[in-house]
Amino acid sequence: MKSFKIRVGIGLVAFGLVAASCGSSSDGASSGDGGSPEVAAGAECTPGQTDGDLSLYNWTEYIDPELIVAFEAEAGIKVIESFFDSNEAMQPIIMAGNSGHDVIVPSDYMVSILIDAAEAGETSVMKLNKDAIPNMANLDPAFAKGLPYDPNGDYSVAYQWGTTGLGLDLSVVGEDVPHTWGLIFDQELAAEYGIAGSATLLNDPRETLGAALKYLGYSLNSTDEAELAEATALVKEATSWLTAFDSDQYDELLVSGDTTLAHGFSGNFIVQFGEAENPDNYTYFVPDEGGTRWVDNMMVVADAPHPCSAHTFLNFILDAENGAALTNWNFYASPNKAALEFIDPEVLEDPIVYPTDTSKLEFIGDTGTYETNFSDAFIEAKG
């Protein structure tokens, strides 16, 4: 029977692949595929050294093209850019190995997942060779040490940071609107300010359930099932007076008048407000109950083909003027202390970019296997 042979053939090939994958994940440290933190391929790199064209895997439009040109001129290598649109889509691509990418720019919680995986011997990211990145000294001390997701800064270098909060159309809600998540989660408030039927929440379980948890006075990293159930009920109720869950166009919907309130990321709002007919009509704030603060970070992939070029690129971005150029271009805050003097004063004084009180802000942390509870709860809330 040929059909039987075919099936056996498929089975054998698959068995081989699975066996190979078991092998590489159980003894990754010795398999030499770059999966182990001990084998730091960048250990030998010196400042400014390059070992081939750099492959940068970044969010779309997250770096000024002129900075790329400047780096190419300075380092004498080319930059090959590839783009991702979510941490969750990027992670498996890196962890499958052989991605060909050198530098990635994951967000905080994804940094901690990647570090955990690296320390468990999976193909993930490599420990940085700090000697090859002298500009690390430029980092604000708050970003160099003590970050919850990479306490010693051994694996990651902060790229930019921002907050998640609410954007509002002041021409509808008025100037003296209270700064609370209740605007979206409290039906009476939502009705009073004309927000009901004209608001969007992020289509993201952690952000949106996190906002509800904050409104209820809990930590957005709570792993208490009762608290999550409360937050879920709140989002479920709000769904009935919500325009949409949207993570891409919330800022445009707000400025085009389709919505009055939008839940989203600080920098996107600034850019969009700048293009509105009357920018003064709009405001952005993180509600008083607190909200998300996030940091995107540069990391070097464990099996990066060009680890030295990668280190040189990290060093280049950490340069004071280059760091400032980033912020002046996309209006997200810079973790680079030395860069502050080169940032446009207008941007520096904008409370949306640099919030004055950061005490109520919280990072989204990885909750391990509890993550699926968040995504299940979110689907339940949406119905």
Partner 1 sequence: MVDTESVNGSPVTPELEKAAERADSRRGFLLALPALGFLTLFFATPLVIVAIYSFATRNRFGGTDLSGWNLDSYRRLGEPIVRDILYRSLFLAFITTVICLIFAYPFSYYLATRKESVRNIMLVFVMIPFWTNFLVRNYAWRVLLGNGGPLSQATEAVGLGETSILFTPTAVVLGLVYGYLPFMVLPLYASIERIDWRLVEASRDLYASGWTSFRKIILPLSMPGVIAGSILVFIPSLGAYVTPELLGGAKTTLLGSYIVTQFLTARNWPAGAALSMVLMIVMLITTIIYFRKDGKTL
Partner 2 sequence: MSSTTDPRGFSKAFLTANAWLVYLFFYAPIILLVVYSFSGDKLVGRWGGFTLDWYRAFAKDDNVQGALWVSVQVAIVSTLVSVVLGTLAALALERFKFRGQKVFDALLYLPIIIPDVTMAVMLLMFFSQFFNVIDSVLGLTLSKDISTVIISHIAFNISFVSIVVRARLEGMDQRLEEAASDLYASRWKAFRFVTFPQIIPGIAGGALLALTLSLDDVVIAQFVSGPGSTTLPVYVFGLIRKGVSPLINAVSVVMLVASVLLVMLSLLAQRNSEDKDQKVNDENEDDDQEVSSGSSSLSEMSIN
Does 36 sit near partner 1 (CB under 8 A)? no
Candidate ranges 13-21, 56-64, 69-77, 273-281; the one touching partner 1 (CB under 8 A): 13-21
Between residue 183 and residue 212, which ones bind partner 1 under the rule CB under 8 A? 200, 203-205
Please tell me the distance from the alpha carbon of residue 180 to that of residue 217, in angstroms, as a whole number. Answer: 12
Given candidates 70, 144, 244, 276, which one binds partner 1 under the rule CB under 8 A? 244
232 binds partner 2 (CB under 8 A): no
Say whether residue 268 binds partner 2 (CB under 8 A).
yes
Report if residue 278 touches partner 1, rule: CB under 8 A.
no
Which residue has 């053939």 as its token pair?
9
Query: Which listed residue (103, 158, 211, 242) binds partner 1 by CB under 8 A?
Result: 242
Nearer of residues 76 and 92 to partner 1, judged by Cβ: 92
Site for partner 2 contains 203 (CB under 8 A): no
Q: What is the rounded distance in angstroms from the CA atom of residue 260 to the CA atom of residue 252? A: 11
Type of residue at 299: M
Other Cβ atoms within 10 Å of 70 Cβ, number: 16
Please say whether the beta carbons of 270 and 160 come within 8 A.
no
Binds 251: which of partner 2, partner 1, none (CB < 5-8 Å by kind): partner 2
Could you give the residue ranges of the DSSP H alpha helices within the chain?
2-26, 28-31, 65-75, 87-95, 108-119, 141-144, 170-173, 182-185, 187-192, 205-215, 225-239, 250-255, 266-275, 307-317, 320-330, 345-348, 371-382
Closest approach of partner 2 to the CB of residue 82, in Å: 5
Which one of partner 2, partner 1, none is in contact with 268 (Cβ closer than 5 to 8 A by kind)?
partner 2
Between residues 17 and 137, which has the closer beta carbon with respect to partner 2? 17
| Residues between 82 and 121 with contacts to partner 1, criterion CB under 8 A | 86, 88-89, 91-92, 95, 113, 116-117, 120
Residues 275 to 314 in contact with partner 2, rule: CB under 8 A: 275, 305
Interior/surface letters 303-334, b for 16+ CB within 10 angstroms, e for the rest: bbbbbbbbbbbbbbbbbbebbbbbbbebbbbb
Measured in residues, the chain has a length of 383
Nearer to partner 1 by C-beta: 131 or 380? Answer: 380
Position among 82, 221, 239, 281 found at the interface with partner 1 (CB under 8 A): 239
HSE of 190, CA atoms in CB hemisphere, 13 A: 22
* Side-chain-facing half-sphere of 45: CA atoms under 13 Å: 28
Name the residue nearer to partner 1 (CB basis): 92 or 141.
92
In angstroms, what is the minimal distance from the CB of 212 to partner 1?
Answer: 16
Query: How does DSSP classify residue 334?
Result: P
Query: According to the binding rule CB under 8 A, does residue 55 interact with partner 2?
Result: yes
* Region near partner 1 per CB under 8 A, out of 33-41, 236-244, 272-280, 347-355: 236-244
**83 touches which of partner 2, partner 1, none (CB within 5 to 8 A by kind)?**
partner 2
Among 51, 169, 251, 366, binds partner 2 (CB under 8 A): 251
Q: Is the sign of the CA dihedral 372, 378, 382, 383 positive or negative? A: positive
Considering beta carbons, is residue 259 or 268 the nearer one to partner 2? 268
Binds 82: which of partner 1, partner 2, none (CB < 5-8 Å by kind): partner 2
DSSP labels, 102-122: -EE--BHHHHHHHHHHHHTT-
- On whether the CB atoms of residues 334 and 340 are closer than 8 A, the answer is yes
Member of 26, 30, 46, 60 binding partner 2 (CB under 8 A): 60
